[in-house]
Amino acid sequence: MNLIESFKIALESIEANKLRSFLTMLGIIIGISSVITIVALGQGGQNAVTDEFNKIGATNLTITLDTTKAQPSDYFTIEDAKKIKSEVPSVQYVSPVVSEKGVAVSQISSKNATITGSTTDYADIEDYQINYGRYFNSLETNEGKAVAVIDENAAKSLFGYTDVVGKTFNIGPANAPQKVTVVGVKASNNLFSSNPNIPISIDVPITFLQTMYSNNFIISSLTVSADSKDNTSDAGAGAISILESRHNNRGKDIYIATSLMSQLNQINSVLGVITDFVGAVAAISLIVGGVGVMNIMLVSVTERTREIGIRKAIGATTSNIMIQFLIESVIISLIGGIIGITLGILGADLIGIAANITPVISPAVIIGAVAFSSAVGMFFGIYPAKKAASLDPIDALRYE
């Protein structure tokens, strides 16, 4: 019996028992589709995070304090930011940044909000796209004006439409919100801000934020943008030197400069571990599917005992019988794998659309899925094939 004939017999057997064959494949289908969906979305999520960081810029870094060493006099001031910008040649923009939790209340809506206080430079550092109006200017920052810049999703939540320049609403602590005027509407961050469960984003002058949250108001972070990617380290070192001189704490290693790209590597590493772990958990269903293949093949051997006896009686060798049943189990697993791949790709696309993530379908994952499903069929088909091949032809012919 040649391989072509074995394939034909295997396909005829599968077609003759369509429902049973499909149920046998189900574990393989679920396992393969789950793995492909999870891996595609995980890689797509990593790419989305990378894109967001690239929008912010590879030249950006954050300067923070070691809070275990810092004294109240070591914390940043607005004057620190101005001094760094004027005296460090490699620094293009610098802004103190303070974020507070609060509420935003309009005539039609009330939302939780993240209120970020900064200076004019922050818009350039973050590379904001202002769709309506403008960002607040230096005069408004110096005078602590009650103005705000919100994103389009926040505008829709608070007012029902996006071009809301000149509109007023209240922001701040829940017990004492203050009225602000919208001077600009920026483009929304598609990766995060479309989620209704995430607080809306509001930018205000840092001096105005200080009036709203005057109790224990401190500036513990400076965001710096270097004039080029190659000068990022120099910009961080220069900024720290200025800070140590102004706060008279040189040599105490209180200030820490962290590149955003190094943070990106850490985030991608964590996302990669999570994706691998969840994918491995999903792959367990492939083992379950393999056990299902073995069980059904054992049933098939029992049902076809007389057929095996007849084939052996007319000259089929032990290896012929074993190969035929192995081929049948591999074909079942392969068909299940192909269906699983198709469903996995469709599932990744549908979930990606809902989550605003573009899934990444890796050819290596597809090839691995096909190879793994074949291996499952081969591994779990060995025992039933051996059992079929070891049947005595006389006993098989007598089987009822």
Residue 12: CB partners within 8 Å, gap ≥ 6? none
| Residue 232, token pair as written in the block | 């990022």
272/18 Cα distance (integer angstroms): 39
Count of C-beta atoms within a 10 Å radius of residue 239: 27
What pLDDT does residue 305 have? 67
Ordered by start, the domain boundaries in the chain are: 3-52+266-398, 59-258
What pLDDT does residue 262 have? 66
Residue 187, CA distances (Å) to 51, 97, 129, 191 in order: 15, 20, 6, 12
Backbone angles phi and psi of 384, in degrees to 5: -60, -35
Q: What does the pLDDT profile of the chain (400 residues) look like in tens digits?
A: 566 776 777 677 777 777 777 877 787 788 788 888 888 888 887 777 767 666 656 788 899 999 888 898 999 999 999 999 999 999 999 999 999 999 999 999 999 999 999 999 999 988 889 999 999 999 999 999 999 999 999 999 999 999 999 999 999 998 889 999 999 999 987 554 555 667 899 999 999 999 999 888 999 999 999 988 788 889 999 999 999 999 999 988 899 998 766 666 677 777 777 777 776 776 676 677 777 777 776 776 666 667 767 777 777 777 777 777 777 777 887 888 888 889 989 988 898 888 788 888 878 878 877 777 777 767 766 766 676 667 666 655 555 5
Helices (H), the chain: 3-16, 18-56, 78-87, 121-126, 138-143, 152-159, 206-212, 232-247, 260-303, 305-313, 318-355, 363-389, 393-398
Name which of 53, 3, 95 is nearest 326 in CA terms.
3
Note the pTM of the prediction, 2 decimals.
Answer: 0.57
